[in-house]
Amino acid sequence: MRHLETRSLSAMGPDSPGLSALAKKLRLAPDHHVAVINAPAGYLDRLIPAPADLFTALNESTLYDVVQLFVSNAEELRALGAPAIKAVKPGGLLWICYPKGGVTSGATDLPATPWWTKRDVLGEFTGEIGYKPVAFVKIDETWTALRFKKA
């Protein structure tokens, strides 16, 4: 099996004064237009201070510098994945966040590692429009974020 070219970004991110450590880890910048979709309770508070343009719903006529989508299972991914991907502007960042532990933990029907993206439901969305996974970060003890970029 061929492994995806990914790397952990636990200590990376832009040098953006005035942003939270989590916002920096996600490579957010103060001038970014950001959509955070389906976030768990309390998550947005952890991004503060965050970019000024932070939205929790997608506007179909708007493209975003960063779209961060939280999905708990394959059903949510199927329902929310395509609109989230289409909302990323060219050169923008797409983060798809999923529960750590995968099927074995009982937390989700998605596998535990980012390697599932090539052969599972996320690959259906990202591969069709030319996105590939490039890195992942630990959001917290519950969530992992996988970053994609246009191939």
Task: Output the CA torsion sign for 126, 129, 133, 137.
Answer: negative
Domain residue ranges of the chain, discontinuous segments joined by +: 21-150
Confidence of residue 129 (pLDDT cuts 50, 70, 90): low
94-108: average pLDDT: 74
State the fold for domain 21-150: Rossmann fold (3.40.50)
Beta strand 88-99 with 131-138: parallel, antiparallel or unpaired? unpaired
* 3-state secondary structure string across 28-95: CCCCCEEEEECCCCCHHHHHCCCCCEEECCCCCCCCEEEEEEECCCHHHHHHHHHHHHHCEEEEEEEE
Q: What is the pTM of this model?
A: 0.80
118-142: average pLDDT: 74
Query: What's residue 73's pLDDT?
Result: 85
148 token code pair? 């994609």
15: alpha, beta or left, given left = phi > 0 and alpha = psi -120 to 50? beta
87-108: average pLDDT: 80
- Report the range of poorest mean pLDDT among 23-27, 89-93, 146-150: 146-150
